[in-house]
Amino acid sequence: MVATAAVGRSAFGQTYPARPITMIVPFPPGGPADVVARILSEQMRNSLGQPIIIENAAGASGGIGTGRVARAAADGYTIIFGYWGTHVSNAYVYRLQYDVARDFDPIVRMPGQPLLVVARKGIPASNLAEFIGWLKANPDKASQGTAGVGSAGHLIGAMFQQYTGTKFQFVPYRGTAPATEALLAGDIDFIFNNPTTTMSHVGAGALQAYAVTSAKRLDIAKEIPTVDEAGLPGLKFTMWQGVWAPRGTPKERIAKINAAAILALADPGNRRRLLDQGFELQEKDELTPEALASLQKAELEKWGPIIKAADIKIE
């Protein structure tokens, strides 16, 4: 027992990091989390002196990769790049083998994205009010694609129904990319989707966007009104993201990763790349571990009743 403790003290006493850090992105490559992780990881490597290896571990709306990190050693060498879904909504939608708050230590908030209300070409509506009118005139006939049961798009769609008194069908897909493809093919009528996946199609005129779920217009799409401007202020929503470590990770190691992330986020080139893809950047006081913990707590309290009222549950 004494020898084991000595080894442990030696391991935690060495200069950190002494080997590469694995950052689990619990989604396939190409999504918002993966994009931000890959943009920032190279510069974080420069600060930390060790590479950050991005590992995509998709499944169960991010639950598989998140659960893996919850069970990992609390030594700072395995961290999770999660988001609102993995660390808020999954707590109410899935029967998890871990606690999204208690089993993780927050490190830093990362840039997130609002969603766009995007419809297929041919729908007879030029703005959000007209679109809502079309849905009301065609109850239960329209369809909204989602990235899966319990995904952000699904939950925002359920909230949209409550706010507008509309009725339509939900069609789940295995991610935002196939849902977007279905929309382009005309198989579904609309989606709530992130700018990364959507804006190129909107810009090309293949899809029409009615509103963005943020308080201000996107840098890359000044012509798209906010939900406030479009007459539906209650629908504001951001898919905020963050990095967490397993509970019990030494605070000095969390501080090192936090400092490296803040430096990477301050880089003008990185900021421009993120803004150009529709991400929202935070102020420096929003980048502390405490700020991420506070945000997560508030969001858990807000979304719990909404998700339970929508009766969205996966056993």
Q: What single letter denotes the amino acid at residue 158?
A: A
The percent of residues above 70 in pLDDT, for the chain, comes to 96
Distance CA 313, CA 315 (A): 6
- Of 105-119, 208-222, 289-303, where does mean pLDDT reach its minimum? 208-222
Query: What integer pLDDT is reported at residue 315 of this predicted model?
Result: 64
Query: What integer pLDDT is reported at residue 4 of this predicted model?
Result: 38
- Characterise 62 by phi-psi region: left (phi > 0), alpha (psi -120 to 50), beta (else): left
Please give the average per-residue pLDDT across 3-25, as a whole number: 70
What residues contact 305, with CB distance under 8 A and at least 6 apart? Answer: none
| pLDDT category of residue 262 using cuts at 50, 70 and 90 | very high
| pLDDT category of residue 10 using cuts at 50, 70 and 90 | very low
Q: Which long-range contacts (CB under 8 A, 24 or more apart) does 268-271 make?
A: 270/39, 270/40, 270/43
Please give the average per-residue pLDDT across 280-292, as a whole number: 95
Please give the average per-residue pLDDT across 276-301, as a whole number: 95
Query: What would the pLDDT profile of 152-185 be if each residue is shown by its tens digit?
Result: 899 999 989 989 999 999 999 877 888 999 999 9
Please give the average per-residue pLDDT across 109-116, as a whole number: 95
Strand ranges, E, within 115-204 = 116-120, 143-146, 169-172, 190-193
Residue 113 three-state SS: strand
Strand ranges, E, within the chain = 21-25, 52-56, 78-83, 104-114, 116-120, 143-146, 169-172, 190-193, 207-212, 238-246
Query: What integer pLDDT is reported at residue 46 of this predicted model?
Result: 93
Please give the average per-residue pLDDT across 17-38, as a whole number: 92
Query: What integer pLDDT is reported at residue 164 of this predicted model?
Result: 95
Q: pTM of the full predicted structure?
A: 0.86
Please give the average per-residue pLDDT across 59-88, as a whole number: 95
